[in-house]
């Protein structure tokens, strides 16, 4: 290939952490630098710094990242119709009904259950709401406005302002325009509802705050608040409080609620939390913390400020994070723009005409969810912190055999590197219990996956994990390696040595576990040569086929990845050089999968036979294609392996559901099949009808578990955006490809800025007619890499903080 002229412009570093550049710029403006990596528990916080100037976007700029609907949500279907907000820990779904605003509020730490450190006779961990536990709701807040019946309103509209973290609702009654804004503020650690109007109207109604575990709410007229507090059976204390205020009319806390009348505007502030602390040594409790009292303090502190001040404080915080990535996949038509988000989903499916703005908005919605659900507390499980009841499917837990990993594939790729911290912190906090329980119970005779050698070391996890060090369902031997794959990849994006040092115990513990677990066997290759290899002991390729297969591809690939990352980590940190050589030796003997002569597919079970479902949702044997990158569509991978992987992916099919489609899309993007990758993204945009697979009204991804019943599974809301980014940029340390799988639908023109790149860079790229017109690479710690686009490739050398702009790439 010809190396075209590349125009290189070096730009001096402005700060050391460009991935956080936007955030720091705004944070500096408001003096809120303390917001970086906040407390991981519900604690008293210093008074937030308030912005001096308005951080609000202009209406036109805000409109670029807004979803909107022409009708409110139903109280009976909040998980599909409620609009999500969250401050990283405290989250809610809002109905936006004019007469009955309903917020279903969840604190990410309000978990039942405990350590759950006993195995059943079949070797499984108990998996109930009392033993393993479940995420549950904190409260329901309602604001009743009896005169605002939906049947009487005109021009109803509600929108989700993704860039500013706001729900806006407006409607007209008898010539008065009523507006409400709802947001979850991280600086004020509270949810705020601001009701205003134009045209001479007023508000009369009732604010009610109710627990969801049978608590009694008490209103305090002198204190102007209503609150409740209680403890779960596991001893976790929790509480919530609400206050309301207005410049006019009458507001009164009385009995169990707050009533108001004749108020020209009204501000409602609610907060709450638990005494969960991320510390295994204290059994995850702070006995001195009184959540109800703290919630009262928080809402009353916030109530000392105008709604506008609270709004500006929140928007300054939220915008800074959201603004770290901007994306434009092309221009949608006027007819598409005229439709609300639900109609737009329907039209996208009905007409099968690309809607690039909707498709970009789907990515930004995923980012919005991550900012709202993963900052400074527990990471996001199967539903993030959004529930509509206390019996979420699979406990809304952390599934370690794809789901939690998929949740975080997007973070670094999509300019939300800091949101990854919740996942890392969780693993670090759980590690003592994970280690202790592994060493005590993994080799229990009831565990079918126990090490046949009888040896045990390090740690691993069950398929499900909770925030109390506990596991649920089966042991998941390779779960540790997959978690480490995600954690290490975050290092590759950030090149943050301090971070690597922090996660090193997790990596080493997982390596030690596998050192004890691998067994030797003899294989004969095609030439008839026998060789001794190391394979994983009995295991289950998630979640299909034989329960007791040795050498499953899933485990082999993950351990190969783990051992490789371990070498990099020890070299980088200058640690454990002797043990590194031991591990290198193990890795050299590790069996790697071959292609089945029977099926032509990369084998899943170290067997030529297809022992499972051809179109199974999991792509476990393709884990070396994505998220791993051992299998690459270039000369580094033997052609038969690449063909076998492609054939297996083809056989898995294009008609799955949410997260399974997202994973497939990521794999096709890796294989540079842009149209397949795009079609799978489009499949997830199909509107869910009566619980069918696809996107709900609020864009939450729905999995049809049985006819007529859909379950919200948040992974697709993150995995699909990850796929969109992966179609635009592929990276591994030392190598970046721009537009590796750009579909025709987005090819005309577009741009993306703020994309994370493995190796320690952030990329901004623009394209036209499918070709890169301009690319800027900034180092966040990376020094050398090669950029490939179209027919051109270019070596780039940068110092941390520097950037370079490339033009004229293929």
Partner 1 sequence: MRSSSYSVLPARTLRTVVVFALTAGLAATVPAAQAKTPVPRETPATTPAAAKPYMGWSSWSMQSSKYPGLNPDGDYSYLTEANVLKQTDALAAKLKNYGYNHVNIDAGWWMDKTWKTGFDQYGRQTPDPVRFPHGMKSVADHIHSKGLKAGIYLPVGLEKEAYGEGRTPIWNAPGCTTADVVYSDLRTTNGWDNAYKLNFDNPCAQKYIDSQAQQFADWGYDFLKLDGVGPGSFKSGDNYDNVPDVAAWQQAISTTGRPIHLELSWSLDIGHAADWKKYSNGWRIDTDVECYCNTLVTWENSVNDRWDDAPAWSRKAGPGGWNDLDGIDVGNGEMDGLTKAERQSYMTLWAINKSPLFTGDDLTRLDSYGVSLLTNKEVIAVDQNDSPVARPVTPVGDQQVWGTKNADGSHTVALFNLADSPASVTAQWASLGFTGNASVRDLWNKADLGTYKNKITEALPAHGSRLFTIKPGGGTPTTTGYEAESAANTLSGNASVAGCDACSGGKKVGGLYTGGKLRFNDVTVKKDGIYTVQIAYVSGDPRSVTVSSDSGNGTSEKFPSTGDWSTAETVSVQLALKAGSNTITLDSGSGYAPDVDKIVVPQSV
Query: How distant, in Å, are the alpha carbons of 268, 561, 736 from that of 629?
Result: 50, 9, 13
Q: If binding is defined by CB under 8 A, does position 333 make contact with partner 1? A: yes
Q: How far apart are alpha carbons 489 and 509 in whole angstroms?
A: 17
Are 376 and 321 a contacting pair, CB within 8 Å?
no
Q: Locate the DSSP E strands across 660-708.
A: 694-695, 701-706
Q: Give the nearest distance from C-beta 338 to partner 1 in angstroms.
A: 8
Q: How far apart are alpha carbons 224 and 221 in whole angstroms?
A: 5
Q: If binding is defined by CB under 8 A, does position 444 make contact with partner 1? A: no
Q: Give the nearest distance from C-beta 72 to partner 1 in angstroms.
A: 5
Q: If binding is defined by CB under 8 A, does position 147 make contact with partner 1? A: no
CA 621-552-654 angle, 5° bins: 20
Contact residue for partner 1 among 36, 63, 144, 153 (CB under 8 A): 153
Contact residue for partner 1 among 15, 254, 351, 675 (CB under 8 A): 351
Helix then strand count (H, E) for the chain reads 19, 34
Q: Give the nearest distance from C-beta 261 to partner 1 in angstroms.
A: 20
Region binding partner 1 by CB under 8 A among candidate stretches 242-250, 315-323, 340-348, 789-797? 340-348
Strands 237-245 and 266-274 turn out to be antiparallel
- Residue number, 122 or 352, with CB nearest to partner 1: 352
Q: If binding is defined by CB under 8 A, does position 346 make contact with partner 1? A: yes
Q: Give the nearest distance from C-beta 77 to partner 1 in angstroms.
A: 5
- For residue 135, which of 108, 117, 104, 103 has the smallest C-alpha distance? 108
Question: Pattern 47-86, binding to partner 1, x per CB under 8 A?
Answer: ----------------------xxxxxx-xx---x-----
- Residue number, 438 or 698, with CB nearest to partner 1: 698
Q: How many residues bind partner 1 (CB under 8 A)?
A: 34
Q: If binding is defined by CB under 8 A, does position 156 make contact with partner 1? A: yes
- Residue number, 621 or 694, with CB nearest to partner 1: 694
Write the CB contacts of 566 (distance below 8 Å, at least 6 apart in sequence).
507, 508, 511, 580, 583
Buried b (16+ CB within 10 A) or exposed e, 686-717: bbbeebbbbbbbbbbbbbbeeeeebbbbbbbb
Region binding partner 1 by CB under 8 A among candidate stretches 113-121, 135-143, 327-335, 752-760? 327-335
Q: If binding is defined by CB under 8 A, does position 347 make contact with partner 1? A: yes
Residues 166-185 that bind partner 1 (CB under 8 A): 171, 174
Q: If binding is defined by CB under 8 A, does position 352 make contact with partner 1? A: yes
**How far apart are the two ends of the chain, measured CA to CA in Å?**
10
Region binding partner 1 by CB under 8 A among candidate stretches 342-350, 646-654, 661-669, 768-776? 342-350
Tokens 């489609």 -> residue: 661
Contact residue for partner 1 among 54, 152, 221, 615 (CB under 8 A): 152
Buried b (16+ CB within 10 A) or exposed e, 511-537: bbbbbbbbeeeeeeeeeeeeeebbbbb
Residues 522-541 that bind partner 1 (CB under 8 A): none
Q: Give the nearest distance from C-beta 415 to partner 1 in angstroms.
A: 33
Assign 3-class secondary structure to 381-430. CCCCCCCCCCCCHHHHCEECCCHHHHHHHHHHHCCCHHHHHHHHHHHHHH
Contact residue for partner 1 among 264, 340, 393, 643 (CB under 8 A): 340
Q: Give the nearest distance from C-beta 656 to partner 1 in angstroms.
A: 17
Q: If binding is defined by CB under 8 A, does position 657 make contact with partner 1? A: no
Q: Give the nearest distance from C-beta 210 to partner 1 in angstroms.
A: 22
Contact residue for partner 1 among 28, 150, 233, 744 (CB under 8 A): 150
Write the CB contacts of 409 (distance below 8 Å, at least 6 apart in sequence).
486, 627, 666, 718, 719, 722
Q: Where are the alpha helices (DSSP H) in 471-552?
A: 479-494, 497-517
Q: Give the nearest distance from C-beta 745 to partner 1 in angstroms.
A: 13
Q: How far apart are alpha carbons 173 and 153 in whole angstroms?
A: 5
Q: Give the nearest distance from C-beta 99 to partner 1 in angstroms.
A: 9
Other CB atoms within 10 A of residue 44 CB: 11
Q: Give the nearest distance from C-beta 349 to partner 1 in angstroms.
A: 6
- Residue number, 151 or 528, with CB nearest to partner 1: 151
Q: If binding is defined by CB under 8 A, does position 353 make contact with partner 1? A: yes
Q: How far apart are alpha carbons 121 and 454 in whole angstroms?
A: 19
Question: Pattern 86-105, binding to partner 1, x per CB under 8 A?
Answer: -----------x--------
Q: If binding is defined by CB under 8 A, does position 252 make contact with partner 1? A: no
Contact residue for partner 1 among 129, 349, 448, 807 (CB under 8 A): 349
Are 529 and 449 a contacting pair, CB within 8 Å?
no
Q: If binding is defined by CB under 8 A, does position 576 make contact with partner 1? A: no
Q: Give the nearest distance from C-beta 344 to partner 1 in angstroms.
A: 11
Q: How far apart are alpha carbons 664 and 720 in whole angstroms?
A: 10
Q: Is 174 exposed, middle or buried (0-12, 13-18, 19+ CB in 10 A)?
A: exposed
Query: How distant, in Å, are the alpha carbons of 24, 84, 752 from that of 323?
Result: 11, 19, 12
Region binding partner 1 by CB under 8 A among candidate stretches 14-22, 150-158, 441-449, 570-578? 150-158
Q: Give the nearest distance from C-beta 174 to partner 1 in angstroms.
A: 7
Q: What is the contact surface with partner 1 in residues (CB under 8 A)?
A: 69-74, 76-77, 81, 97, 149-154, 156, 171, 174, 333-336, 339-340, 342-343, 346-347, 349-353
């Amino acid at each position: 290939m010809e190396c075209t002229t590349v125009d290189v412009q070096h730009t001096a570093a402005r700060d050391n952490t460009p991935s956080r550049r936007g955030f720091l710029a705004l944070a500096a403006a408001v003096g809120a630098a303390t917001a970086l990596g906040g407390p991981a528990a519900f604690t008293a916080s210093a008074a937030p710094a308030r912005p001096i100037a308005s951080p609000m976007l202009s209406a036109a700029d805000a409109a670029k990242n807004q979803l909107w609907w022409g009708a409110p949500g139903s109280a009976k279907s909040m998980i599909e119709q409620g609009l999500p907000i969250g401050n990283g820990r405290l989250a809610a779904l809002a109905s936006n009904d004019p007469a009955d605003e309903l917020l279903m509020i969840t604190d990410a730490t309000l978990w039942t259950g405990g350590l759950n450190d006993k195995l059943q006779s079949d070797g499984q961990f108990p998996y109930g709401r009392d033993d393993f536990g479940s995420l549950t709701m904190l409260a329901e807040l309602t604001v009743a406005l009896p005169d605002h019946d939906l049947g009487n309103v005109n021009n109803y509209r509600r929108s989700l302002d993704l860039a500013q973290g706001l729900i806006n609702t407006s409607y007209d009654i008898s010539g008065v325009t009523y507006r409400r804004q709802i947001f979850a503020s991280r600086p004020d650690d509270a949810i705020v509802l601001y009701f205003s109007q134009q045209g001479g109207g007023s508000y009369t109604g009732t604010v009610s705050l109710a627990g969801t575990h049978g608590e009694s709410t008490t209103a305090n007229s002198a204190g102007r608040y209503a609150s409740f507090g209680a403890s779960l059976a596991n001893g976790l204390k929790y509480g919530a409080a609400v206050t309301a205020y207005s410049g006019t009319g009458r507001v009164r806390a009385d009995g169990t609620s707050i009533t108001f009348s004749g108020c020209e505007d009204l501000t409602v502030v609610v907060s709450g939390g638990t005494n969960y602390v991320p510390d295994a040594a204290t059994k995850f409790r702070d006995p001195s913390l009184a959540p109800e009292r703290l919630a009262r303090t928080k809402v009353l502190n916030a109530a000392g400020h105008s709604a506008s001040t609270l709004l500006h404080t929140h928007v300054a915080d939220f915008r800074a994070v959201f603004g770290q990535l901007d994306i434009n996949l092309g221009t949608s038509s006027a007819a598409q723009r005229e439709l609300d988000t639900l109609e737009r989903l329907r039209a996208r499916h009905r007409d099968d005409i690309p809607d690039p703005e909707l498709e970009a908005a789907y990515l930004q919605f995923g980012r919005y969810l991550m900012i709202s659900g993963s900052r400074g507390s527990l990471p996001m499980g199967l539903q993030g912190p959004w529930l509509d009841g206390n019996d979420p499917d699979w406990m809304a837990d952390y599934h370690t055999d794809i789901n939690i990993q998929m949740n975080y594939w997007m973070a670094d790729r999509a300019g939300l590197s800091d949101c990854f911290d919740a996942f890392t912190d969780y693993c670090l906090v759980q590690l003592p219990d994970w280690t202790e329980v592994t060493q005590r119970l993994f080799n229990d005779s009831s565990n079918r996956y126990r090490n046949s050698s009888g040896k045990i070391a390090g740690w691993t996890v069950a398929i499900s994990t909770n925030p109390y060090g506990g596991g649920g369902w089966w042991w998941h031997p390779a779960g540790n390696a997959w978690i480490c794959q995600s954690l290490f990849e975050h290092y590759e994006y950030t090149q943050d040595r301090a971070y690597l040092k922090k996660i090193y115990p997790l990596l080493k513990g997982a390596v030690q576990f596998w050192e004890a677990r691998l067994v030797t066997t003899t294989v004969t290759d095609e030439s008839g040569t026998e060789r001794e290899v190391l394979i994983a002991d009995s295991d289950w390729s998630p979640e299909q086929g034989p329960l007791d297969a040795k050498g499953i591809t899933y485990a082999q690939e993950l351990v190969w990845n783990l051992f490789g990352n371990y070498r990099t980590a020890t070299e980088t940190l200058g640690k454990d050089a002797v043990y590194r050589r031991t591990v290198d030796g193990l890795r050299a003997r590790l069996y790697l999968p071959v292609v089945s002569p029977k099926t032509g597919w990369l084998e899943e079970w170290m067997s030529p036979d297809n022992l499972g479902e051809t179109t199974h949702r999991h792509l476990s044997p393709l884990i070396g294609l994505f998220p791993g990158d051992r299998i690459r569509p270039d000369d580094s991978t033997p052609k038969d392996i690449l063909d076998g992987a492609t054939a297996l992916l083809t056989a898995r099919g294009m008609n799955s559901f949410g997260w399974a489609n997202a994973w497939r899309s990521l794999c096709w993007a890796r294989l540079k099949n842009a149209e397949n990758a795009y079609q799978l993204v489009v499949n997830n945009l199909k509107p869910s009808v009566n619980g069918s697979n696809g996107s709900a009204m609020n864009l939450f991804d729905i999995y049809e578990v049985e006819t007529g019943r859909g379950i919200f599974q948040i992974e697709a809301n993150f995995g699909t955006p990850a796929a969109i980014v992966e179609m635009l940029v592929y990276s591994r340390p030392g190598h970046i490809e721009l537009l590796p799988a750009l579909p025709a639908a987005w090819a005309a023109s577009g741009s993306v800025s703020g994309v994370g790149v493995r190796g320690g860079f952030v990329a901004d790229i623009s394209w036209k007619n499918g070709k890169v017109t301009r690319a800027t690479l900034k180092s966040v710690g990376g020094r050398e890499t090669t950029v490939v686009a179209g027919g051109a490739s270019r070596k780039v050398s940068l110092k941390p903080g520097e950037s370079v702009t490339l033009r004229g790439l293929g």
